[in-house]
Amino acid sequence: MSDTKPDPGQVRTCRLLLALGMNRVDAERTARKVRDHHSFRTRGGRLAVFAYRDSDPDGGDRVREAWVLGSVLGWGERESAIALDCSRTALRGHLEQASTRFDEVDARALRRIVDAYRPGPLEEEPPEGREDPYRFIRSLGWIAVVVIGLEVLRRLVVGP
């Protein structure tokens, strides 16, 4: 275990994933991956919602997602619509449907659970778990260097 602490954006993402229904271990792992994405700063919520939908066998529940973002986490309309990849009109429709399924007691209960989350030290991912995207290109580069080196050596020994 390392003493690596998540940043506030990662904690916010993890709380979102927990509120949506992901278990703690998967939420922390997913929040770390989402945090490392190059567009996290502008699209962190959207990335987290999509990651949750990918992990859910049913593909997620748009009405519940809208309710969690708006009523439980207190996100604004624009921010919620961006995260859910829908229009504000669609978001309002989802929230209308949610008002028949969930009430303020449900929101308070889920909010208490999410607010109780305290990140602990994160385990560092094992090096073999990290895939190097440039490994293949580097391998081709080394092969090219060896082939050129062998050709130079052949010309020195045999002649032109």
CATH code assigned at 104:
1.20.140
pLDDT-derived band at 160 (thresholds 50, 70, 90) equals low
pTM for the whole thing? 0.67
32 lies in a domain? yes
pLDDT for residue 76 is more than 70: yes
Neighbour count for residue 97 (Cβ, 10 Å): 15
Residue 160 lies in a domain: no
The answer as to whether 76 is a domain residue is: yes
> Residues 23-49: pLDDT tens digits?
888 888 888 888 888 878 777 888 889
Please state, rounded to an integer, the average pLDDT across all residues of the chain.
Answer: 84
Report the distance separating Cα 63 and Cα 160, nearest Å. Answer: 75
Residue 48 lies in a domain: yes
Asked if residue 110 is part of any domain, the answer here is yes
89 part of a folded domain: yes
With respect to residue 52, please indicate whether it lies within any of the assigned structural domains.
Answer: yes
Note whether residue 3 is domain-resident.
Answer: no
Report the range of poorest mean pLDDT among 7-11, 97-101, 122-126, 155-159.
122-126
Phi, psi angle pair for 51, to nearest 5°: -65, -40
Q: Which domain holds residue 48?
A: 8-132
| Number of domains present in the structure of the chain | 1
